[in-house]
Amino acid sequence: MKVSVVIPAKNAEETIGYLLHSLMYQTVKPHEIIVIDDGSTDNTGDIARRFRNVKVIVNRESKGANFSRNLGILESTGDIIAFTDSDCEVDVRWIENISKLFKECDVSAISGAVYSGNIDKFLSRFLEQSIISPAPKYNKDVILKGDLNPFVIVTTANFAIRKSIIEKVGLFDPEYRHYGSDDMDYAYRILRSGFKILCTSKVKVKHYHRVRLSKVIKRYFQYGQGFAIFKIKNPQSIFSRLVSYSFLGLIILLISPVIYYLMGSLLKVPVPKVLVYLPLLPLLVVSAYHLLGLIKVKNIERILYIPLDLLIIVSSLLGFLYMYIKLKMGKKL
């Protein structure tokens, strides 16, 4: 079973060397490694070329990770296409375990677990424990079929698929560009086509999380934008409904004091005063989540995660509203 590795990369000179080094020392060697340099302005491409048997494809103009993944797919010759990101580092048995699971399991794709590669950094530790962490851990194996599980994330930072399935499902959607939810979109298309995805912790990668707060906030704003794109493209998915209900509920909670003021003070309509306190509910939920974590692992740092989680939740909400309204007004991505 030949495994081709496809890596989209943009301005990744600080991390891509670690990734390619980890691929050089696999217990089972990949059939080929394809790096797509998506309009980098740093030394990403030059670093990749220093490694033997790494093919580098260059996009002179940045067109997004999915466009790059599609180029890699079209260039690949393996039976299995494995994807990871340029800011990751794969486990020494990554290729071995991917191949083994495809032989043992009747599935069309595999989504693996993602852990922090820079756990020594405060924001990286926070993102590992966030209530909306983008990195799946998979405490137990789950096989998805038919539709997405609303509480299971699939990410292209650690994903593999049979090439024969790509020929039936099609390529990644390049319209998502850098917004996020593109991996969930592709997973949903696989499931909707009647194929199964194994989500497992047996296939591991480390991801170097962002360590600047401004970049974390920006990324979650983009995640919100991606949620909006996914919802409009796939309104029937359970993931779309979950995101919609979650954001709608959050909006209602946040504006409930305004509703109380408008109806109670201006219109003189009797309304329960509890509306004034409903915005505290997200704070209580997030606080309970992290305080339980604090009790479990006795890490006082978890208290600092509470305001950070609230911040990125609001950032995601704003990104969702911005993109949803934009697309509904007929504007292009």
The CATH number given to whatever domain includes residue 93 is 3.90.550.10
**In sequence order, what are the residues at sequence separation of 6 or more whose Cβ sits closer than 8 angstroms to the Cβ of residue 36?**
6, 7, 8, 9, 56, 57, 58, 59, 68, 69, 71, 72
Do residues 63 and 3 make contact, with C-beta atoms less than 8 angstroms apart?
no
196, 211, 226 - which closes a domain:
211
Regarding whether 160 and 120 lie in a shared domain, the answer is yes
Regarding whether 192 and 132 lie in a shared domain, the answer is yes
pTM: 0.89
Residue 265 has pLDDT above 70, yes or no: no
Separation CA 212–CA 255 (nearest Å): 30
- Let me know if residue 98 belongs to a domain: yes
Residue 267 has pLDDT above 80, yes or no: no
Total Cβ atoms within 10 A of residue 256: 19
Separation CA 308–CA 291 (nearest Å): 14
Residue 259 has pLDDT above 90, yes or no: no
Separation CA 159–CA 203 (nearest Å): 9
Lowest mean pLDDT among 30-34, 160-164, 323-327: 323-327
Give the domain range for residue 302.
238-328
Please report the pLDDT score of residue 247 as a whole number. Answer: 86
Lowest mean pLDDT among 5-14, 45-54, 214-223, 269-278: 269-278
Do residues 174 and 62 make contact, with C-beta atoms less than 8 angstroms apart?
no
- Domains: count for the chain: 2
Separation CA 117–CA 298 (nearest Å): 22
Do residues 37 and 57 make contact, with C-beta atoms less than 8 angstroms apart?
yes
Please report the pLDDT score of residue 131 as a whole number. Answer: 92
Regarding whether 258 and 205 lie in a shared domain, the answer is no
Question: What percentage of residues in the chain have a pLDDT greater than 70?
Answer: 96
Per-residue pLDDT of 181-238, as tens digits, reads: 899 999 999 999 999 999 999 999 999 999 999 999 999 999 999 999 999 999 999 8
